[in-house]
Amino acid sequence: MNSPHPPPPAHRSSPRGEFASAPETNQVTDVTPRRSTSAKFVVAGGFGVGKTTLVGSVSEIPPLRTEEALTNAASGIDDVSKIDSKTSTTVAMDFGRITVSPELVLYLFGTPGQTRFSFMWDRICDGALGAVILVDTRRFEDSFGPVDYFESRGIPFVVAVNTFPGSPLTTPAEIREGLSLPASVPVMHIEATSREQVKVVLVSLIDLLMQRMATRSRASAPRRSELGRMPAAH
């Protein structure tokens, strides 16, 4: 990693302390029925920002990809000028799965980066609990659209700056300012090729969602003064 920034804080933890590995299918250790929850997260960002790489780094199943070789047909349409080694492109979406704990399985959906596929975003983002917006500081403005999209739909998101060799050096504060993000949106620098760093991103999104849920349930809980006015149960 050529960024001067330290890796994102390691103190965050998933509900179980760490990501559990997928259960062995032939090993029965606990027959107690568990309630398992699945959550859909979207990985968004501009063309070539590292969405396919991120999903592939962390998925425990071979990620389902719909990649096509970049051909002459896309020349002049897809901007590959800043993407040295890119030879394929996601024409529909990436899909991956990660088991966070026996109770929580995440499904990751990557959006197609090219703006000509933006009509697919609503379908891909339907039912998503949260999003990871990947940023490439060499093409910073490509992240404006994704930030607007999730803000306008009220879908919580975290921002992960993918660090490429030669990326301009930035601080989280500069990214936050450049994207006009409130302090509540986590911003971190990562390498999408690093499974550990991608896990930190996902854990921070889970934390954010849990904070939102806690805030909401506090807001909807009756206040002490209201409890005092409630009729006593007989």
| Residues that bind Mg ion in the complex, under the rule CB under 5 A | 51-52, 90
Query: Which among ligand GDP, Mg ion, none contacts residue 192 (Cβ within 5 to 8 A by kind)?
Result: ligand GDP
Nearest residue to the partner Mg ion, using Cβ: 90
Regarding 128 and contact with ligand GDP (CB under 6 A), the answer is no
Residues 6+ apart with CB under 8 A from 44: 51, 110, 111, 121, 131, 132, 133, 134, 146, 149, 150, 157
Please pick, from the candidates 41, 42, 44, 47, the single residue that binds ligand GDP as defined by CB under 6 A. Answer: 47
Residue 165 lies near ligand GDP (rule: CB under 6 A): yes
Residue 81 in contact with ligand GDP, rule: CB under 6 A: no
Cα 92–94–100 angle (5° rounding)? 155
164 near ligand GDP, rule: CB under 6 A? yes
Minimum CB separation of residue 3 from ligand GDP in Å reads 11
Instruction: Supply the Cα-derived Rg of the chain in whole angstroms.
Output: 20
Does 50 contact ligand GDP by CB under 6 A?
Answer: yes
Under the binding rule (CB under 6 A), the answer on residue 51 touching ligand GDP is yes
Whichever of 29 and 87 has its CB closer to ligand GDP, that residue is 87
Compute the distance between CA of residue 176 and CA of residue 183 in angstroms, rounded to an integer. 8
109 pairs with which residues across the strands? 42, 95
From 46-54, 122-130, 171-179, 220-228, give the range in contact with ligand GDP by CB under 6 A. 46-54
* Beta carbon of residue 150, minimum distance to ligand GDP (angstroms, whole number): 16
**Residue 59 found at the interface with ligand GDP (CB under 6 A):** no
Strand order across the beta sheet in which 187-190 lies:
64-69, 88-101, 104-110, 37-45, 130-135, 157-162, 187-190
**Which listed residue (8, 41, 42, 48) binds ligand GDP by CB under 6 A?**
48
Choice between 90 and 170, CB closer to Mg ion: 90
Buried/exposed 6-40: b ≥16 CB within 10 Å, e otherwise? eebeeebebeeeebeeeeeeeeeeeeeeeeeeebb
Determine which residue in the list 104, 125, 191, 205 makes contact with ligand GDP, applying CB under 6 A: 191
Q: Go through the chain and tell me how many residues it has.
A: 234
Helix spans in 21-128 (H): 51-58, 121-125
Contact residues for ligand GDP (CB under 6 A)?
A: 45, 47-53, 83, 85-86, 90, 113, 162, 164-165, 191-193
